[in-house]
Structure 1
Amino acid sequence: MTESVDKPFKRRRSHADERRNKRVNLAYNEREFQIIELAASRVHRAPSAYAASAALSVAAGAVSPLPMTDRELIRAFQDADVTLNRIGNNLNQIAAVLNSRGDVTAEHVAAVFDVVSRAAQALMQAGLDVARNQVER
């Protein structure tokens, strides 16, 4: 029998002389499952074995997930990024209409671009500051 280079030899892991007979049924949406599946494949484990190991590590205090405040902060940055992208799309639509009528001047466009550009730079700087604080912890 030949082993594939892509797939390392898999064997059942022993669980401290005690068989695992308690089950928990986990349900994921497609995106969540893809995240679990990718993480599991990186350590050459099945998604269910990876999820069990991760849950036990967190429960035992061996690893700690991001505190809720950090997750909320990251989500706020993601929401702000989406909003900023929507603003940019709306400005493009407004500029297209105004340009077709000739009602807009270069100064108007430059002023709006400057405001949006400063907002994007401030958002980016805030994200970098948060990332630096995470590394320093």
Structure 2
Amino acid sequence: MRHRTRQPRQRNRFRNVRLSDSELALISAGAKAAGMTDAGFLAHAGLAAARDLTTTAARIAGDRELLAELFAARRHLGQVGNNLNQIAKILNSDGHAPQTDVVLDAVRRATERLQAATVRLLDQ
């Protein structure tokens, strides 16, 4: 049996990466399209991101900000939905709900906030 000779530029450092099934599928598809192995593709993509830290950091910060906004809008809609359910209960029992206009205005604002965050996400 012949020993395999090492190439002078071969990588000799090792890292483990945990991926979900969908993430692995995306990476495998990207690697296949580029004619690379999964490991080579990950190394190439990671090095490309590391070489442009300002853009990468800005993108990550923007993504985090966008996710925070989406979660806040979702939380706001949940709170408003609870208020709307309380108003519906009062109105169904022939009661009077003076705060209806305030809650409907909150629904409109929360919907606009969620719409704006969604547009930002789609524009990326």
Q: Which TM-score applies when normalising by structure 1?
A: 0.56
Residue 90 of structure 1: CA displacement?
1.3
8 Å Cα contact 1:40-1:47 kept in structure 2: yes
Greater relative contact order, per chain length (Cα 8 Å cut-off, separation 6+) = 2
Q: Structure 1 residue aligned with 2:65, among 62, 73, 94?
A: 73
Secondary structure of 1:18's aligned partner: coil
Task: State the match for 1:38 in structure 2.
Answer: 26
Q: Structure 2 residue aligned with 1:117, among 84, 104, 108?
A: 108
- Aligned-residue RMSD, C-alpha: 3.6
Secondary structure of 1:75's aligned partner: helix
Q: Which TM-score applies when normalising by structure 2?
A: 0.60
Task: State the match for 2:95 in structure 1.
Answer: 103
Between structures 1 and 2, the one with greater helix share? 2
User: For 1:39-87, what per-residue CA distance to the aligned partner results, in whole angstroms no more than 9, with x for missing partners?
Assistant: 5424526544432221111123399325154233212211122213312
CA gap 1:50/1:119 in 2 versus in 1, 3 angstroms: same
CA gap 1:60/1:90 in 2 versus in 1, 3 angstroms: same
Work out whether 1:20 is the aligned partner of 2:11: yes
Mapped partners of 1:118, 1:17: distance in 2: 61
Secondary structure of 1:64's aligned partner: helix
Q: Structure 2 residue aligned with 1:64, among 55, 66, 83?
A: 55
Tell me the percent identity.
17
8 Å Cα contact 2:73-2:110 kept in structure 1: no
Mapped partners of 1:88, 1:40: distance in 2: 43
* Unaligned runs of at least 5 residues, structure 1: 1-15
- Number of positions where the alignment pairs a residue of Structure 1 with one of Structure 2: 113
8 Å Cα contact 2:28-2:38 kept in structure 1: yes
